[in-house]
């Protein structure tokens, strides 16, 4: 992730805080947190089932992304942030970059004993994958062939599984 994109996310996050599009949580509510986690896991299970049964590559992409989205919201909520409903997908994306980048890097450093730069690169890849899936969900319907759609659906599903595993390990 380049420095320009990181700075953009930091600036957007500050503006979203100022505008109330994301707020600091004053009182943690387990029901909200558990709902995000349940929605993330359920969305991933649905994506996996749709993929295995070859029902709809479009909905594999959509539900894979939503599993990542709900897990990101759970993570941000655990850190003390709750997004509103206005441009929520963009707000969550920017907040995730700002709030998770170094935490993911530190987790990878500790877990895999990698070098600092390598861990930061892996961390950035997870965040880029999230952003890519957000964009893919919005444009996927315009792909032309079913082979392309199935390939992209598989990538989405794999990314969602990896993302949920990573974020769940950060939440422990």
Q: Give the span between the Cα atoms of 127 and 129, in whole angstroms.
A: 5
Q: Cα 96 from chain centroid?
A: 7
Are 58 and 140 in contact by the 8 Å Cβ rule? The answer is yes
Domains present along the chain, CATH in parentheses: 3-171 (1.20.120.330)
Q: Which two tokens stand for residue 27?
A: 């009182």
| Closest of 124, 104, 133, 151 to residue 43, by C-alpha | 133
Q: Give the span between the Cα atoms of 111 and 142, in whole angstroms.
A: 39
Q: How many contiguous H segments (helices) and E segments (strands) does the chain have?
A: 6, 2
Measured distance between the N- and C-terminal CA atoms of the chain, rounded to whole angstroms: 26
Q: Output the pLDDT for position 56.
A: 93
Are 158 and 128 in contact by the 8 Å Cβ rule? The answer is no
**In a structure prediction context, what are the per-residue pLDDT tens digits for the chain, which is 172 residues long?**
899 999 999 999 999 999 999 999 999 999 999 999 999 999 999 999 999 999 999 999 999 999 999 999 999 999 999 999 999 999 999 999 999 998 998 888 888 777 888 888 888 999 999 999 988 887 776 666 777 888 899 999 999 999 999 999 999 8
């Amino acid at each position: 992730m380049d420095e320009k994109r990181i700075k953009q996310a930091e600036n957007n996050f500050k503006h979203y805080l100022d505008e109330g599009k994301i707020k600091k949580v004053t009182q943690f509510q387990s029901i909200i947190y558990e709902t995000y986690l349940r929605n993330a896991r359920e969305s991933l299970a649905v994506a996996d089932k749709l993929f295995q049964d070859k029902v709809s590559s479009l909905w594999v992409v959509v539900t894979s992304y939503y599993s990542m989205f709900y897990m990101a919201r759970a993570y941000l909520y655990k850190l003390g942030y709750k997004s509103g409903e206005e441009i929520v997908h963009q707000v969550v994306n920017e907040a995730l970059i700002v709030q998770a980048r170094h935490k993911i890097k530190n987790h990878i450093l500790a877990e895999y004993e990698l070098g600092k730069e390598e861990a930061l690169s892996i961390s950035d890849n997870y965040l880029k994958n999230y952003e890519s899936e957000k964009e893919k969900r919005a444009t996927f319907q315009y792909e032309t062939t079913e082979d392309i759609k199935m390939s992209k659906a598989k990538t989405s599903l794999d990314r969602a599984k990896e993302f949920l595993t990573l974020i769940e390990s950060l939440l422990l």
